[in-house]
Structure 1
């Protein structure tokens, strides 16, 4: 029995979480501080404080440079290099199935090389071609669900649905998913989110007028209404009233079959963030307002891809514990990942949006108008902004990995980093949707 008043011994995970909390309070992360470029500080971690079992899929215990750097406290907080790439990702793609956790399906022969041209000067990491058998199966299942089951897209939009390449997108972003069933979690949620964006906000009948009401009612398909017996039936009926709500309801039901309660609550929170960002952009559209660059970036931190990488552990078949996920340093990593990947979308969709009716706000357009730059200079400045966000993401992820080398944390960080890379891959290779401006 411990003596009265003595502190209980911390588990290795709790000790690592305590170090992560201490790092957050001493690094200025909560206040938004960040180290200057270049010249990375190092994040010291006493070797004795690191749990003995820090192995994750693809990283052998004590067997490579990265593991030694983490144990010795010499992992750089900024600089990608082979070391950081290894700790965040490990081997991915075809031929690495044996390194994944959980039940696995056989990997097929390699597919064709990637199409498309990467934006010159954009900081990114190539990924292996996604597993073609999985791509084909996810594509088949998601189309049957979206078009046939929930009728999210009418037949006349079928070519656009096919051109979106959902299967290739999700397989590239989640190479560690144990099964196709797990990949369908991400695929259904992605399609449902795009149905809301298309039908409520943009291409297919969307409008800023009345958007708040539509989004709130759709959000109840994710975060259900708790009301009286008298009024619950009409609400339940409303979930079938349009394509976005049907898609949200069905995708969320499927997600809940695989997610823990904390993972589901986390996702609902991030979807509320997304809807808040939609509303800010709609308010600017109604008043024809061009925000300041910093205001636009604030909106994009909410109207962004964050709900996608935040479910990487659910799709991977494991859980990052809620107390670790909620740490400010981990939240900063997730936010930076969402911000960087969303600017990727701004850059690759730039010419597509210029060709669309009306004025579409994206980072190059806002920089051009607010800073008086030419189209080319504004676009190149947006590339620079993206690169800074990516470097900050990788620096913060490295620091968290060094301060808290718990297996679930390391795997989650690697999963988010792989999602970032897969998102770029999809934008680069989706020549059906995107083409680059002639600025080089």
Structure 2
């Protein structure tokens, strides 16, 4: 640990976090409700969609959340053969090709022409760590070091000064998490560092709840439900009587996880639309339900069936992170499009695949920890009565199957609904999947691989 290093140096470097500009939406109000009329709307070309990342999106959402159509928007709706909705195949090709521009070479839904997206393929010399042999993934370039440094500085300042997240002796562990590198890798289309900070605060807050309530730093399955419920009220506020509201307000500052949840959510609500904030609350409730299922099994010393474990992991997983990719990108995927069953399948598969990546890379770390930690290789080994090595290699296959299913579902949706925000959101989720693997592979402070090859 680096506890001998004084934390005041961070406070000296603290800088104000400017407010984000109002969130931008790339669909007019008429296209918010998906239907035949949406497909009749003009679909932006790839370069026009990319302009949204530069702040050139014509549909601004003011504080009230009602979209305003500007002159640029009206011009975009002029019937012109060059701007009409492209055929499904063109939409499919665009999403498989991925975003263009600096730092986005690896952000596609299929492997680049130069080699397969499987561990062992040629990789850039800048990559650290050893990828899991046989794991299906897409290499990405190292994230922008300037952004990484700025996000790292800001998140540590927030953790120390705004929410008093951890004591001095945890500083080395906080630094070793490398959350700045993680979030910059996962959100390459974020317009500004302020947008990146939305995801970074939420990520750190979620990990604080996991560590302090469930895992390494005093966590326990006993009483977890009560702790999670009260922490969730920092995200989804309690509406009660004047007599009891002050006690609830005071409770939000009673421990580090609740302070972190409250602060991170306050930033997010100010920068997102009401539907995006409510979407995030829903996904966090899913996450907390997954925590409780795992805790219940721990209390009864129960090892679930493999399919039961995978069901738990669909809730106790990374889903809240990629689902906010539009907020971090500075635009909005309208609620009706987000709620489509095929979009929900894409998001679920992305969360499931990225969470199994965590199971695989954290395998040796968890084996070295006290007690029994459930992860996919452990459950497979016990339930299917095979060796640890066989179980681990089978878990790699499960991950690969989930990844292929994710990519197929994303491509099918891109073809079925070639709307600009859908295509951009799918690219953002794919970028998060790739960035998540990059962080796990390169974070040698936290992770090492078993000797199974």
TM, length-normalised to structure 1 = 0.81
How far residue 202 of structure 1 moved from its aligned partner, in angstroms, is: 0.3
The question of whether the paired residues in 2 share the 8 Å contact of 1:124 and 1:424 is answered with yes
Residue 236 (structure 1) aligns with: 249
Show CA shifts across 1:167-187 (max 9, x none). 000000001101100000000
The question of whether the paired residues in 2 share the 8 Å contact of 1:94 and 1:131 is answered with no
Moved over 6 A (4+): 58-61
- Whole-Å separation in 1 of the counterparts to 2:438 and 2:173: 19
- Whole-Å separation in 1 of the counterparts to 2:37 and 2:136: 31
Show CA shifts across 1:30-74 (max 9, x none). xxxxxxxxxxxxxxxxxxx6754342358799xxxxx9xx94444
Name the SS of the counterpart of 1:226 in structure 2: coil
Stretches of structure 2 that go unaligned for 5 or more consecutive residues are 1-27, 52-81, 107-123
Match of 2:140 among 118, 127, 138: 127
Name the SS of the counterpart of 2:380 in structure 1: helix
The question of whether the paired residues in 1 share the 8 Å contact of 2:32 and 2:336 is answered with no
Show CA shifts across 1:342-368 (max 9, x none). 000000000000000000000000000
How many residue pairs match? The answer is: 378
Stretches of structure 1 that go unaligned for 5 or more consecutive residues are 1-9, 21-48, 62-66, 97-110
The reply on whether 1:93 has 2:75 as its aligned counterpart is: no
Match of 1:172 among 185, 188, 192: 185
Residue 55 (structure 1) aligns with: 45
How far residue 89 of structure 1 moved from its aligned partner, in angstroms, is: 3.8
- Whole-Å separation in 2 of the counterparts to 1:129 and 1:321: 31
The question of whether the paired residues in 2 share the 8 Å contact of 1:112 and 1:129 is answered with no
The reply on whether 1:113 has 2:126 as its aligned counterpart is: yes
Residue 382 (structure 1) aligns with: 395
Name the SS of the counterpart of 1:153 in structure 2: coil
- Whole-Å separation in 1 of the counterparts to 2:136 and 2:30: 35
The reply on whether 1:331 has 2:321 as its aligned counterpart is: no
The question of whether the paired residues in 2 share the 8 Å contact of 1:56 and 1:410 is answered with no
The reply on whether 1:341 has 2:351 as its aligned counterpart is: no
Match of 2:376 among 342, 363, 366: 363
Residues 74 and 360 (structure 1), Cα distance of their counterparts in 2 relative to 1, 3 Å cut: same
- Whole-Å separation in 2 of the counterparts to 1:281 and 1:129: 34
Residues 14 and 231 (structure 1), Cα distance of their counterparts in 2 relative to 1, 3 Å cut: closer
The reply on whether 1:204 has 2:217 as its aligned counterpart is: yes
Match of 1:186 among 192, 199, 208: 199
Show CA shifts across 1:239-281 (max 9, x none). 0000000000000001011110000000000000000000000
Match of 2:332 among 316, 319, 323: 319
Match of 2:405 among 382, 392, 399: 392
Match of 1:288 among 289, 301, 304: 301
Root-mean-square deviation (CA, aligned residues, Å) is 2.6
The question of whether the paired residues in 1 share the 8 Å contact of 2:91 and 2:418 is answered with no
The question of whether the paired residues in 2 share the 8 Å contact of 1:147 and 1:155 is answered with no
Show CA shifts across 1:210-262 (max 9, x none). 00000000000000000000000000000000000000000000101111000
Name the SS of the counterpart of 2:240 in structure 1: coil
Q: Superposed, which structure 2 residues align to 1:227-306 within 5 Å?
A: 227-306=240-319
The reply on whether 1:141 has 2:154 as its aligned counterpart is: yes
Residues 192 and 15 (structure 1), Cα distance of their counterparts in 2 relative to 1, 3 Å cut: closer
Name the SS of the counterpart of 2:328 in structure 1: helix
- Whole-Å separation in 1 of the counterparts to 2:147 and 2:224: 36
Residues 355 and 390 (structure 1), Cα distance of their counterparts in 2 relative to 1, 3 Å cut: same
Match of 1:213 among 220, 226, 234: 226
- Whole-Å separation in 2 of the counterparts to 1:414 and 1:85: 8
The reply on whether 1:154 has 2:167 as its aligned counterpart is: yes
Show CA shifts across 1:58-95 (max 9, x none). 8799xxxxx9xx94444798xxxx86531x44445179
Residues 180 and 76 (structure 1), Cα distance of their counterparts in 2 relative to 1, 3 Å cut: closer
- Whole-Å separation in 2 of the counterparts to 1:332 and 1:372: 31
How far residue 151 of structure 1 moved from its aligned partner, in angstroms, is: 1.1
The question of whether the paired residues in 1 share the 8 Å contact of 2:46 and 2:94 is answered with no
The question of whether the paired residues in 1 share the 8 Å contact of 2:49 and 2:424 is answered with no
